[in-house]
Every structure is written in structure tokens, then in C-alpha cells.
Amino acid sequence: MLCLTLALLASPGCSQTLPEEGTLQGTSGKVTVTGEYKRVKIDAVERLSIEGDKLVLHSDSSSIAVPLPPSADASQKNKGWALVTEGEGDGTRTLTFTQEMSLEDFTITVPAAEGQVAYGSLGGRDGQDVLLFAYGSNSKAYWGWVTIAKPAAAGEQEH
């Protein structure tokens, strides 16, 4: 009985449950990735579009608009980032993106939710790329964004 009680008490600490919104930091050897994610009320994410200064998440039956990140420049579309691998863990989902020309990549960890990942990339007003993504189904959906900064090359460092 004691073993069963200890096992029940220990199991909540074993799974990693992420909050419904939070900050993101990506892992990469060549780029620095930071951003945010949030839960959104939509039945399922089917695709994304940009309308003015809004990112619009579409499902078969509805759509919802969310503000673009402050640094995103909607006129600079498709900066060449592609989703190359996905994985699932205890309450998490990992997404790895690669830049098609430079082959730089990064991985982010977000809350688990079923469904396809819709994504796209924009340029930023600050010269950094911005990757937008959304995913989920059965009324459990998330959207988020990350800025992708390349380290300053030697000789380009700020003074």
C-alpha cells in the first residue's frame, strides 16, 4: 500500500506539463530563438493567412485573428523556414525547423495537442526572421511565434 501511495505521489512530477501560454527559447548551435505561444479558441487549425497586421488562423468552420508580433513585417513573406521533424513527449510536442538556404536549424518545445502544424515565416523590422505557427484540434489549439537571430559575424559587432 505504501508503494502504491508513493508511486501515485511521484507520477505527477514525471510528466512535463507546459502552461497554456508562455515564452519559448529554441535550441540551436547557430541561431538564437525566442518567442511566445498561447492557447487559442478554435476547433482545429487547418491553415494560416495574413490580413493586414493580423495572423488569421482558419479551421473548416471558423477563423480567428491574432496580432502579429511587434517586430514582424508582413510585406517580407516566406523567409525559407521549413518544419522538418516533429516529436512528442510527456505533455509536450517538439518542432524542428530548418532554413532552406543556410541549413541552420532550431528546435522548440510547445504544449502537446493533436493536429497538423501550420506555419510560415516573415522578415522582421529588426532584420531578424519571424516564424509563425499554429496547431491543434478538438478545441485544443495553440499559436505562437519566434524571432530567429543570427549571431553577429566578426567585425559586425556593435560598438
The answer on pLDDT for 108 being more than 90 is yes
Q: Could you tell me if 45 and 118 are in contact, meaning their C-beta atoms sit under 8 angstroms apart? A: yes
The residue that leads in pLDDT, 11 or 67, is 67
The residue that leads in pLDDT, 3 or 107, is 107
Q: Which residues are bridge partners to 97 per DSSP?
A: 83, 106
The answer on pLDDT for 150 being more than 60 is yes
Quickly state the pLDDT bin for 13 (edges 50, 70, 90).
very low
The answer on pLDDT for 3 being more than 70 is no
CA–CA distance, 101 with 24 (Å, rounded to integer): 24
CA–CA distance, 20 with 5 (Å, rounded to integer): 29
Residue 10, in any domain of the structure: no
Quickly state the pLDDT bin for 1 (edges 50, 70, 90).
very low
pLDDT at 83: 97
Least confident of 69-73, 93-97, 103-107, 149-153: 149-153
**Average pLDDT rounded to a whole number, residues 39-60:** 95
Residue 105, in any domain of the structure: yes
CA–CA distance, 45 with 59 (Å, rounded to integer): 5
Identify the burial level of 147 via C-beta atoms within 10 angstroms of its C-beta, where 0-12 means exposed, 13-18 middle and 19 or more buried: buried
Residue 2, in any domain of the structure: no
Domain total of the chain? 1
**Average pLDDT rounded to a whole number, residues 61-68:** 95
Residue 5, in any domain of the structure: no
Residue 11, in any domain of the structure: no
Give the residue carrying C-alpha cell 499559436: 143
- Coil, helix or strand for 14? helix
Residue 58, in any domain of the structure: yes
The b/e string for 101-128 (b: 16+ C-beta within 10 A; e otherwise) is eeebbbebbbbbbebebbbbbbbbeeeb
Owning domain of residue 126? 17-149
Residue 3, in any domain of the structure: no
- CA-nearest of 116, 111, 102, 117 to 148 is 102
The answer on pLDDT for 123 being more than 80 is yes
Report the mean per-residue pLDDT for the chain. Answer: 86
Quickly state the pLDDT bin for 139 (edges 50, 70, 90).
confident
pLDDT at 109: 95
